[in-house]
A and B are shown apart, each in its own frame.
Chain A
């Protein structure tokens, strides 16, 4: 078991023949991920990285039975690409693209809420199930198959956690990079739920940062429903206030925006919060010992 993606996932790459798509699809294939093809409108019928290229996601699904898509399409076209994947029946849509206009994501969120699919990201490092499938841009070699699940808003900070887990003699089930944009498909709570329900996952690492209330929401869910130890870290204790958030936005966000507030809520909910990002791996090793 694992969550979202595994060795049997049939994965297509949207933006397959572009620079980013080509490089990362190559890395995914090298890791042993089951990439069955890709989509680049206008290049259908060609072969790229020994895999078929299709004009539309619908055609790719029909010909390959794909159920997972990873999107490397530039920001101006990414919202369209996500909706195309959802419309074609893709179940897990992983969007790496950074810089999608937020009002485009408002529309996307509303569109996919009415369809049977899970969006991961955008602006995320992707999803990776150790030893089975790399659907993202994470470096494969730092992973080691094991029992720790990871949920994170950040890219390199996820790698840091993965690496610490591996160096602590443990390994990972699935690492889910949910992304750092104001609107994302899968929330911290939803990702934690998946890992909590995964029989192979024995411990969960939850990494957040300042802004929004996703971590608080996840923490409250864990308090009620948690069955496995959770280690938490929130980046940005020292970040200046009000740099990224507008004046009026801070009200709707509420008082749960700061690192201190989030950590306090997480601790109250029984999460093992570490203040130093260097202690994530050691803390999990201690809890699983």
Chain B
């Protein structure tokens, strides 16, 4: 589950990670109030107004701006709140901004130059261990850094049995070229960051940049925090941070009834049991001359209610010219699934696109018979190749 910058920062701060201080606001008036409070707390007279959406590259799209007065805060917030923010990571139409984070200015001049550091905490799948990845090249697109200057990216693997150790924190601070107060602050920052990652059951932290300020403080200026959805039962307070307006409404509707649905751009809808078979079915649609309109895993119990909801969701997409249902009934009986399909079809009424139903497994032949005799505009198949051929036929 993805969080907004302000939510991620609040979690980090609760574990003692130093952050750029700020307050979230829904309106320009609230933004000005927030700026005044931040001024009282921090003495900062300049502020950064940041659009809160689930996408990176906000600065490039005009979603992050420096305000040098309360009037600036007001006018910048008025511009940003409600705008369609387009960044390299949003859909082409952008994302609507509902909130801004008003934060202290941390790039103030001082004894040394401020410098930006990149740091992320993530799972190294191959090793099965949590890894801290960091670089002196902060504030930039890390993929570009990885491509051009891979030697500037460092990794530190954490042994889960003992957690992060002092020598590892020191190594990171040394590799980042820090000394004195900044060095000490960095070791503390890293230790607390790891503690936060484990404590909140994250699956990704990306802090870009971590800033060394001109007075040698180390603080998180941005935060991308992704939590492990499977662990949310341990964190009901974090579960409440989910922002449904950031998600595709159809995917949310599907998720509510236990369907795993992802919207795509193609012309052939599909409904499948099991994620691997669902991806394979999308591939077979492509090989048959179509393009998959969605990924949809109905899960283990493909009963009439779920099948009906799945059909309704797929049919919302007007680009869909055909639907392929591919169920491998292992433990579930195919004739029951077939009955579910017939019932769902009748409940929805007139379906104008051809449906190809491939049922394989227990009682597959009975299921085919049931569908063939239903009088519905449904093509049935038993073998996967037959289903593929039928898709080709209806698209021709």
By a CB distance below 8 angstroms, the chain B residues around A18 are: none
Interface of B is mostly: mixed
Q: Is there contact, CB below 8 Å, between B276 and A152?
A: yes
With contact pairs A213-B126, A240-B264 given, residues A248 and B280 touching in the complex (Cβ less than 8 Å): no
Task: Verify B279–A235 contact, CB threshold 8 A.
Answer: yes
Contact (Cβ within 8 A) B275 A159: no
On whether A235 and B143 interact (CB within 8 A), knowing A101-B231, A252-B125, the answer reads no
- Shortest distance between the CB of B161 and any CB in chain A (Å): 6
Count of chain B residues with a beta carbon within 8 Å of a chain A beta carbon:
63
Report B-chain residues with C-beta under 8 Å of the C-beta of A233.
Answer: 280
Say yes or no: A156-B328 contact (C-beta < 8 A), given A110-B159, A252-B131, A278-B385.
yes
Please name all residues of chain B whose beta carbon is closer than 8 Å to the beta carbon of A249 when the two chains form the complex: 122-123, 125, 204
Q: Which residue of the partner chain B has the closest CB to A98?
A: B230
- CB-contacts of A82-110 with B (<8 A): 99-107, 109-110
**Quick check: B276 and A248 within 8 Å, CB to CB?**
no
**B226 contacts the other chain (CB 8 A):** yes
Residue of A nearest to B262 (CB): A243
Query: Which of chain B's residues have a CB closer than 8 A to the CB of A158?
Result: 276
For residue B203, CB closer than 8 A to chain A, the reply is yes
Interface membership of chain B positions 193-210, coded 1 if the CB is closer than 8 angstroms to chain A and 0 otherwise? 000001001011010000
CB of B284 closer than 8 Å to a CB of A: yes
Q: Determine the chain B residues whose CB is within 8 A of the CB of A237 once the complex forms.
A: 282-283, 286
Which residue of the partner chain B has the closest CB to A111? B161
Q: Which residues of B contact A235 (CB under 8 A)?
A: 276-277, 279-280, 283
Complex contacts, B146 vs chain A, CB 8 Å: 251
Residue B368 interfacial (CB < 8 Å): no
Query: Which residue of chain A lies nearest to B121 when distances are taken between CB atoms in the complex?
Result: A248
Closest to A207 in B: B276
Given contacts A102-B228, A103-B130, A159-B361, contact A110 B279 (CB under 8 A): no
Q: Is there contact, CB below 8 Å, between A107 and B160?
A: yes
| A18-59 residues at the B interface, CB under 8 angstroms | 23, 27
**Is there contact, CB below 8 Å, between A252 and B383?**
no
Chain A positions within 8 Å of B284 at CB level: 276-278
Tell me if A142 is interfacial: C-beta within 8 Å of chain B.
yes
CB of B292 closer than 8 Å to a CB of A: yes
The complex places the Cα of A281 from the Cα of B257 at a distance, in Å, of 35
Q: Which residues of chain B are near A156, meaning CB under 8 Å?
A: 272-274, 276-277, 328, 330
Contact with A along B362-396 (1 / 0, CB 8 A): 10000000000000000000011100100000000
* Known interface pairs A139-B362, A157-B274, A247-B206; A101-B328 also in contact (CB < 8 Å): no
Which B-chain residue is minimally distant from A153 (CB atoms)? B276
Residues of A within 8 A of B330 (CB): 137-139, 142, 155-156, 159
The reply to whether B125 and A278 form a contact with Cβ atoms under 8 Å apart is no
The verdict on B97 contacting chain A, using a C-beta distance below 8 Å, is: no
- Tell me the chain A residues, 141-190 only, with Cβ under 8 Å from chain B: 141-142, 152-160, 163-164, 167, 180, 182-183
Report how far A75 CA is from B233 CA in the complex, Å. Answer: 10
Q: Nearest CB to that of B150 among chain A residues?
A: A251
Per the bound structure, the CA–CA distance linking A239 and B297 in Å amounts to: 13
Complex alpha-carbon distance, A180 and B278, angstroms: 13
- Tell me whether A206 is interfacial, beta carbon within 8 Å: no
Q: How far is the CB of A262 from chain B (nearest CB, A)?
A: 13
Find out whether the CB atom of B292 lies under 8 angstroms from the CB atom of A238. Answer: yes
CA distance A281 to B331 in the complex (A): 22
Task: Flag whether B285 is at the interface (Cβ < 8 A).
Answer: yes
Q: Are A239 and B361 in contact (CB under 8 A)?
A: no
Is the Cβ of A155 less than 8 Å from the Cβ of B120?
no
Known: A102-B230, A235-B276, A237-B283. A160 touches B328 (CB 8 A): yes
Partner of B230, one of A99, A141, A159, A163: A99
User: Is B133 positioned at the interface, with any CB of A under 8 Å from its CB?
Assistant: yes
CB of A106 within 8 A of CB of B160, answer yes
Quick check: is B142 within 8 A (CB to CB) of the other chain?
yes
Question: A246-B226, A248-B206 known; A154 and B123 CB under 8 Å?
Answer: no
In the bound complex, how far is the Cα of B228 from the Cα of A139, in angstroms? 31
- Is the pair B283, A236 in contact by a Cβ cutoff of 8 Å? yes
Within 8 A of B (CB), among A247-289: 247-253, 259, 275-279
Once A102-B230, A154-B276 are accepted as A-B contacts, the answer to whether A275 and B283 lie under 8 Å apart by CB is yes
Query: How far is it, in angstroms, between the C-alpha of A235 and the C-alpha of B122 when the chains are bound?
Result: 25
Q: How far is the CA of A164 from the CA of B159 in the complex (A)?
A: 43
- Report B99 CB to chain A, min CB distance, Å: 22
B77 within 8 A of A: no
A279 to B126, CA, bound (A): 30
Docked-complex contact A106 and B262, CB < 8 angstroms? no
B295 within 8 A of A: yes
The answer to whether B203 touches A102 (Cβ under 8 A) is yes
Q: Which chain B residues lie closer than 8 Å to A102 at the CB level?
A: 123, 203, 228, 230-231
| Nearest CB on B from A206, distance (A) | 13
13 further A-B pairs in the complex, CB-CB below 8 A; given A163-B328, A251-B142, A251-B146: A102-B203, A102-B230, A109-B128, A137-B331, A138-B330, A154-B275, A209-B279, A238-B279, A238-B292, A246-B204, A248-B122, A249-B204, A277-B281
Q: List 18 A-B contacts (CB under 8 A).
A: A76-B233, A103-B160, A109-B160, A110-B128, A139-B362, A156-B328, A159-B361, A160-B384, A164-B384, A212-B126, A213-B126, A246-B226, A248-B122, A252-B155, A259-B283, A277-B277, A278-B384, A278-B388
Q: Which residues of B contact A (CB under 8 A)?
A: 56, 120, 122-126, 128-131, 133, 142-143, 146, 153, 155, 159-161, 198, 201, 203-204, 206, 224, 226, 228, 230-231, 233-234, 262, 264, 272-277, 279-287, 291-292, 295, 328-331, 360-362, 383-385, 388
Chain A interface residues toward B at CB < 8 A: 23, 27, 75-76, 99-107, 109-111, 137-139, 141-142, 152-160, 163-164, 167, 180, 182-183, 207, 209-210, 212-213, 217, 233, 235-240, 243, 246-253, 259, 275-279
